[in-house]
Structure 1
Amino acid sequence: MLAKGQTVIQYMEQLAPKHVAEEGDKIGLQLGSLHKEITGVLIALDVNDEVVEEAIARGCNLIIAHHAIIFRPLQQLQTDTPMGRIYEKLIKNDIAVYISHTNLDITDGGMNDWMAEAIGIENAAPLKDVHTEQLSKLVVFVPKDHHQKVLDAVLNAGAGWIGNYSHCSFNIEGYGTFLPREGANPYIGQQGKIERAEEIRIETIVPQGIRSKVIQAMLKAHPYEEVAYDLYSMDLKGRSFGLGRVGKLKEPTTLGQFVETVKAGLNVDKVRVVGDLDRPVLKAAVLGGSGGKFLGSAIFRGADVLVTGDIDYHTAQDALMAGVALIDPGHNAEKIMKVKVAEWIKAKLTEHKYGTPVYASEVNTEPFRFV
């Protein structure tokens, strides 16, 4: 059985929720339709002509990429330009393109966690907080004989987390009243007669990112035809999400030795380095993509070295003066996401018994050559 496009993207957004993306980021479905069966999914860092040809050859009609193919509103779509030809080829071959960018960078277990793990950073924390999850309080009234079923449904859907404690809820016994009108099909009582039912009021905490999932689970488990529930916004904030990661290395090393670890972990042949190769390195920061503007955050967090791409001359000079080393493996080091995302989507599809194949793109989209 092949998965629908919406199903594949539902799994992708469990990994990288859209609401944690930086404001204005170009994410989501950028071209094509998800209202179709997916014959194959190709995970790519960038979408160029070679990647599109790879998707066609593999029979994939969905590409999930990290970097957007549409950065600003199109004024015209000319098919005799390089990008225009790519758009045309995608449309003619009914290939949809979905983008997961800063939301994949920021999310727990996403890009920057993968990069941190690859270069040996332990107990990594966000380099810079950029999003704090909004919390809501869910209140729902349940007949006593269905209390545990509904409670389990909302908690197993992810509600009820407070810090490191899960399955948090408060439950109060009482009674509810209602009068089923004509056309109603009540679980308890009968039309035209006021009913008094023993019920339990369930209260729990729901993070913004799983609000719909929790509500759907609650409604599915609840026996009533019309469910009485409330969602209250709270001043209390939930988890913080951030760009980059920072933490101590597994063991102290030198900058020169750490350079070799970065090259091996991120699968790059060459890197640019700022700093004395013999200097000791204990604490490191990493940020996928262009992270030069986060040098100040790395300094503030006490990092000995910042690993990030696209370092410019003046940032390198600032780092030298501040006594912080830099390692630039290039923007393309984010290619680590191809295999990781493919493994995630494949596992989700297999778990739900879908046969849609998932591939990590084998195309090298690195534009630079070192000579």
Structure 2
Amino acid sequence: MLAKGQTVIQYMEQLAPKHVAVEGDKIGLQLGSLSKEITGVLVALDVNEEVVDEAISLGANLIVAHHAIIFRPLPSIQVDTPMGKVYEKLIKNDIAVYIAHTNLDITEGGMNDWMAEALGFEPSSSLEDIHTDNLYKLVVFVPKDHHQRVLDAMLDAGAGAIGNYSHCSFNIEGYGTFKPGAGTDPYIGSQGKLEKVEEIRIETIVPASIRNQVIQAMLRNHPYEEVAYDLYPMDLKGRTLGLGRVGKLAEPITLKEFVERVKVKLDVPAVRVVGDLNRTIKKAAVLGGSGGRYWKHALFQGADVLVTGDVDYHTAQDAFMAGITIVDPGHNAEKIMKVKVAEWLTNKLTENKYDTKVHSSEINTEPFVFM
């Protein structure tokens, strides 16, 4: 059984939820339709004509990419231009293109966590906070014989997370009263008769990002026709997600040793380095893509080195004088996402018994040649 496009993207957005993206970022479906069976998925960093040809050869009719193919409004689509040819080939071969960009960068277990892991440090913070999940208190009243079922459904849907604790709730026994009116079909009692029922009041915490799915899980498992529940906004904030990662290396090493690690782990032939190669590196920061402007954030958080791409000359001078080192592996170092996203989607599709195959693009979209 092949997965529908909406199903594949539902799994993708479990990894990289759209709501955590930087405002105005060009993410989501950019070309084609998801209302079809997906014969194959190709995960790519960029989409050019070679990548489209690769998708065609693999029988893939959905490309999940990191970098947008439509970044600015298009005044026209001329098929005799380089990108026009790409659009034309995608449309003629019914290949959809879906983009996960800053949402994949920011999310837990996404781009910057993969890069930090590859470079040998456990992230303790982000370089810049972007998204904070608001918290709600969800209160629902449940008859005693359905208490555990409803509670388990809510907690399994993600409710009850406080810091590093999960499945947190408070449960109080009491009595509920109600009188079923005309046209009702009550689970307990009969029309026109006042009922007094032993119930349990469940209280738990729900992040805004999963509020709807928790409520739906609760409603599906609750026996009442009309479910009594309350949702209160809280001043207490949930987890904060951001761009980049900062953390301590397992063991201090020299900048020279760290540079070699970057080249090997991020699979780049060369890097640009700002700083003394003999300097000891204890704490590192990483930001996939173009993150030169974040050197002050890294310095403020005590990082000895910032790993990021596209650092310009004057930014490098400023960072050097301020005393922070920089390793620039180029923008293409983000290609680490190809295998990681492909593994994620493969696991999700396999778990749900879909036959749709997922491929990691083997096309090198690095525009620079290192001499």
TM-score range, shorter chain: over 0.9
Q: Find the counterpart in structure 2 of residue 363 from structure 1.
A: 363
- Asked if 1:317 is matched to 2:317, the reply is yes
Note if contact 1:292-1:309 (Cα within 8 Å) is conserved in structure 2.
yes
Q: Deviations over 1:113-147 (max 9, x none)?
A: 10011111234421222221111111222111101
Q: Deviations over 1:44-78 (max 9, x none)?
A: 11111111111111111111111111112223233
What SS is found at the alignment partner of 1:51?
helix
What SS is found at the alignment partner of 1:319?
helix
Q: Find the counterpart in structure 2 of residue 255 from structure 1.
A: 255
What one-letter code is carried by the residue in structure 1 that aligns with 2:110?
A: G
**Counterparts of 1:45 and 1:185 in 2: how far apart (Å)?**
55
**Counterparts of 1:88 and 1:182 in 2: how far apart (Å)?**
60
What SS is found at the alignment partner of 1:370?
coil
**Counterparts of 2:136 and 2:175 in 1: how far apart (Å)?**
24
Note if contact 2:179-2:193 (Cα within 8 Å) is conserved in structure 1.
yes
* Runs of 4+, deviation exceeding 6 Å: none
**Counterparts of 2:196 and 2:369 in 1: how far apart (Å)?**
76
Q: Deviations over 1:163-209 (max 9, x none)?
A: 11111111222333334344433222233444333222211111122
What one-letter code is carried by the residue in structure 1 that aligns with 2:143?
A: P
1:2, distance to aligned residue in structure 2 (A): 1.3
Q: Find the counterpart in structure 1 of residue 65 from structure 2.
A: 65
Q: Which moved more, 1:223-232 or 1:270-279?
A: 223-232
**Counterparts of 2:83 and 2:194 in 1: how far apart (Å)?**
66
Q: Find the counterpart in structure 2 of residue 21 from structure 1.
A: 21
**Counterparts of 1:60 and 1:228 in 2: how far apart (Å)?**
47
**Counterparts of 1:237 and 1:189 in 2: how far apart (Å)?**
41
Q: Deviations over 1:284-321 (max 9, x none)?
A: 11110000010100110111111100000001101110
**Counterparts of 1:181 and 1:87 in 2: how far apart (Å)?**
59
Note if contact 2:283-2:303 (Cα within 8 Å) is conserved in structure 1.
yes
Q: Find the counterpart in structure 2 of residue 209 from structure 1.
A: 209
* Identical amino acids, percent of aligned pairs: 76
Note if contact 2:113-2:123 (Cα within 8 Å) is conserved in structure 1.
no
1:20, distance to aligned residue in structure 2 (A): 1.1
Q: Find the counterpart in structure 2 of residue 240 from structure 1.
A: 240
What SS is found at the alignment partner of 1:126?
coil
- Asked if 1:344 is matched to 2:336, the reply is no
**Counterparts of 2:195 and 2:29 in 1: how far apart (Å)?**
48
Q: Find the counterpart in structure 2 of residue 282 from structure 1.
A: 282
- Asked if 1:334 is matched to 2:341, the reply is no
Q: Deviations over 1:205-262 (max 9, x none)?
A: 1112212221221122112233222222222100011111111112111111111000
Note if contact 1:113-1:124 (Cα within 8 Å) is conserved in structure 2.
no
1:94, distance to aligned residue in structure 2 (A): 1.6
What one-letter code is carried by the residue in structure 2 that aligns with 1:329?
A: P
**Counterparts of 1:22 and 1:319 in 2: how far apart (Å)?**
25
**Counterparts of 2:62 and 2:183 in 1: how far apart (Å)?**
45
User: For 1:130-279, what aligned pairs fall within 5 Å after superposition?
Assistant: 130-279=130-279
What SS is found at the alignment partner of 1:225?
coil
Note if contact 1:116-1:124 (Cα within 8 Å) is conserved in structure 2.
no
Q: CA RMSD in A?
A: 1.5
**Counterparts of 1:348 and 1:227 in 2: how far apart (Å)?**
33
Q: Find the counterpart in structure 2 of residue 54 from structure 1.
A: 54
Q: Deviations over 1:54-108 (max 9, x none)?
A: 1111111111111111112223233232222212221222211111111111111
Q: Residues 147 and 370 (structure 1 numbering): CA distance in 2 closer, same or farther, change over 3 Å?
A: same
User: For 1:74-113, what aligned pairs fall within 5 Å after superposition?
Assistant: 74-113=74-113
Q: Residues 181 and 52 (structure 1 numbering): CA distance in 2 closer, same or farther, change over 3 Å?
A: farther
What is the aligned length? 371
**Counterparts of 1:221 and 1:3 in 2: how far apart (Å)?**
27
**Counterparts of 2:86 and 2:185 in 1: how far apart (Å)?**
55
| TM-score, reference length from structure 1 | 0.96
Q: Which moved more, 1:74-83 or 1:231-240?
A: 74-83
Note if contact 1:104-1:110 (Cα within 8 Å) is conserved in structure 2.
yes
What SS is found at the alignment partner of 1:315?
helix
| TM-score, reference length from structure 2 | 0.96
What one-letter code is carried by the residue in structure 2 that aligns with 1:354?
A: Y
What SS is found at the alignment partner of 2:54?
helix
Note if contact 1:253-1:281 (Cα within 8 Å) is conserved in structure 2.
yes
1:334, distance to aligned residue in structure 2 (A): 0.3
What SS is found at the alignment partner of 1:177?
strand
Q: Find the counterpart in structure 2 of residue 40 from structure 1.
A: 40
Q: List gaps (5 residues or longer) in structure 1.
A: none
**Counterparts of 2:52 and 2:333 in 1: how far apart (Å)?**
21
**Counterparts of 2:212 and 2:5 in 1: how far apart (Å)?**
19
Note if contact 1:120-1:250 (Cα within 8 Å) is conserved in structure 2.
yes
What one-letter code is carried by the residue in structure 1 that aligns with 2:91?
A: I
Q: Find the counterpart in structure 1 of residue 125 from structure 2.
A: 125
**Counterparts of 2:225 and 2:42 in 1: how far apart (Å)?**
42
